[in-house]
């Protein structure tokens, strides 16, 4: 058997493969990412208890904009009943410019046992990456906003009036990739208003266990300058979670 018939046969077999998958074919970009985590929780401050928590984070990133939404839930109970119940909803949309981005953001908190049971904050402004390398990223944001706070009921004030405040929001978001499997995050946010001021520090340490699974330690600390009588100014939530990432 000569080589010519063999080469002809191979070329005929390979033609359908080239027809189905062109040589310049590339997989479509995946702009969507999601994180789901759950685990153990310790509360100190206005609430002292231990229980479970959950968090879901969705990110959609394109060349023109980035949208990020986060839902958090905290629940704890003891023999006497529920001791902590809180739900957080956060959404931010960044519209990219040649340098930096403009953003719109909403933060909504329902906290049955917190110093403020309902906290609604909307803000907008400008942000930019002060540092952006392969391992380190630091983003800074500043802009005006509006905050609605409903204090918890007390014996002295069983029907408190809501606080409504125009605020200035500043934020620093830091991310450090320590090595291939470990990442450290720290977000610091300050809201300055005429009636009240708050500072929130959110720290996370994530270590990949295998493939898309990771172990995460998180600490959320919030300081509120003016709180209802009998409440503490600082609330701290510490979480130990197992995290799964969809990409």
Residue 87, CB-side half-sphere exposure with 13 Å CA sphere = 2
Q: Is residue 113 in some structural domain?
A: yes
Contacts of 112 (CB under 8 A, 6+ apart): 82, 84, 85, 86
Q: Is residue 2 in some structural domain?
A: no
Q: Is residue 12 in some structural domain?
A: no
> How many CB atoms within 10 Å of residue 101?
18
> How many CB atoms within 10 Å of residue 58?
16
191-236: pLDDT as tens digits: 999 999 999 999 999 999 988 999 999 999 999 999 988 889 999 9
The yes-or-no verdict on residue 71 having pLDDT over 70 is: yes
Identify which has the larger pLDDT, 44 or 134.
134
> How many CB atoms within 10 Å of residue 246?
11
Q: Is residue 7 in some structural domain?
A: no
pLDDT of residue 229: 84
DSSP letter string, 63-93: SSEEEEEEEEEEEEEETTEEEEEEEEEEEEE
Q: Is residue 22 in some structural domain?
A: no
Q: Is residue 193 in some structural domain?
A: yes
Of the candidates 138, 152, 141, 145, which has an alpha carbon nearest to the alpha carbon of residue 227? 152
Burial class (CB in 10 A: 0-12, 13-18, 19+), 243: buried
The yes-or-no verdict on residue 20 having pLDDT over 60 is: no
Distance between CA atoms of residues 93 and 32, nearest Å: 14
Q: Is residue 6 in some structural domain?
A: no
Residue 135 belongs to what domain range?
A: 28-246
The β-bridge relationship of strands 101-111 and 81-96 is antiparallel
- pTM for the whole structure: 0.83
pLDDT of residue 98: 93
Q: 200 and 233 in contact (C-beta within 8 Å)?
A: no
160-196: pLDDT as tens digits: 899 999 999 999 999 999 988 999 999 999 999 999 9
107-145: pLDDT as tens digits: 999 999 889 999 999 999 999 999 999 899 999 999 999
- The domain tally of the chain equals 1
Q: Is residue 212 in some structural domain?
A: yes
Check which CATH number belongs to the domain holding 213 and give it.
2.40.128.130
């Amino acid at each position: 058997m000569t080589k010519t018939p063999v080469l002809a046969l191979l070329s005929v077999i390979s033609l359908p493969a080239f027809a189905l998958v062109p040589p310049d074919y590339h997989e479509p970009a995946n702009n969507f990412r999601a994180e789901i985590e759950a685990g153990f929780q310790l509360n100190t401050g206005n609430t002292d208890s231990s229980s479970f928590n959950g968090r879901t984070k969705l990110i959609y990133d394109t060349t023109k904009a980035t949208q990020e939404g986060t839902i958090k839930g905290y629940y704890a109970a003891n023999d006497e009943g529920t001791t902590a119940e809180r739900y957080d909803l956060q959404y931010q949309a960044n519209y990219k410019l040649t340098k930096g981005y403009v953003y719109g953001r909403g933060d909504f908190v329902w906290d049955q046992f917190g110093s403020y049971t309902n906290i609604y904050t909307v803000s907008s402004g400008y942000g930019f990456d002060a540092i952006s390398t392969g391992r380190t990223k630091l983003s800074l944001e500043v802009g005006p906003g509006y905050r609605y706070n409903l204090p918890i009921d007390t014996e002295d004030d069983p029907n408190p009036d809501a606080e409504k405040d125009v605020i200035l929001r500043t934020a620093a978001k830091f991310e450090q990739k320590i090595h291939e499997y470990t990442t450290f995050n720290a977000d610091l946010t300050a809201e300055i208003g005429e009636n009240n001021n708050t500072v929130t520090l959110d720290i996370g340490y994530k270590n990949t266990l295998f493939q898309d699974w990771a172990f995460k330690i998180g600490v959320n600390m919030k300081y509120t300058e003016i709180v209802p009588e009998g409440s503490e100014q600082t609330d701290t939530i510490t979480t130990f979670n197992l995290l799964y990432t969809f990409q």
